[in-house]
């Protein structure tokens, strides 16, 4: 006995999309995953060092934070313009570096504020 086909509901579409993306992530090459993970960790490491440098050298941390914000906004604009729908490995590494960097900057801000 066969099961009747499922209705094409939003939940079913979401389930299919999530399944396809997870399967796509699992079937990617190990080089892509490792470069993305290394870039994420490198962004966090760089952010930890940059915040330490800003705290010791600059008296006004808000100027440094504004500079970093502008730098990453330029990176986002460049990615939107040049990367297209399927970004290459370099753009994925840049995105993961940015995510790791900003995550640790926010984490440092919470540590300083407490």
Whole-model pTM over 0.75: no
The backbone torsions φ and ψ at residue 95, rounded to the nearest 5 degrees and listed phi first, read: -60, -45
Domain that holds residue 70: 29-113
| Residue 102 in domain | yes
- Rounded-to-integer distance, Cα 111 and Cα 65, Å: 16
Q: What is the pLDDT of residue 75?
A: 84
SS3 98: helix
- 19 in Cβ contact with 79 (< 8 Å): no
Look at the chain and report how many structural domains it folds into. 1
Tens of pLDDT, residue by residue over 63-114, are 777 777 788 889 888 888 887 777 888 888 988 999 998 888 888 778 766 5
DSSP state for residue 83 in the 8-state scheme:
T
| Residue 24 in domain | no
Q: What is the pLDDT of residue 41?
A: 95
* Sole residue written with tokens 């604009």: 77
| Residue 104 in domain | yes
Q: What is the pLDDT of residue 77?
A: 86
Q: What is the pLDDT of residue 42?
A: 95
């Amino acid at each position: 006995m066969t099961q009747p086909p499922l209705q094409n509901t939003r939940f079913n579409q979401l389930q299919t999309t999530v399944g396809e993306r997870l399967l796509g992530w699992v079937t990617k090459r190990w080089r892509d995953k490792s470069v993305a993970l290394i870039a994420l960790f490198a962004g966090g490491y760089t952010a930890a060092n940059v915040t330490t440098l800003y705290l010791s050298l600059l008296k006004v941390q808000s100027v440094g934070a504004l500079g970093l914000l502008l730098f990453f906004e330029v990176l986002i604009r460049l990615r939107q313009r040049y990367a297209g729908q399927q970004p290459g490995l370099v753009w994925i590494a840049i995105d993961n570096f940015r995510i790791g960097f900003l995550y640790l900057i926010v984490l440092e801000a919470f540590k300083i504020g407490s």
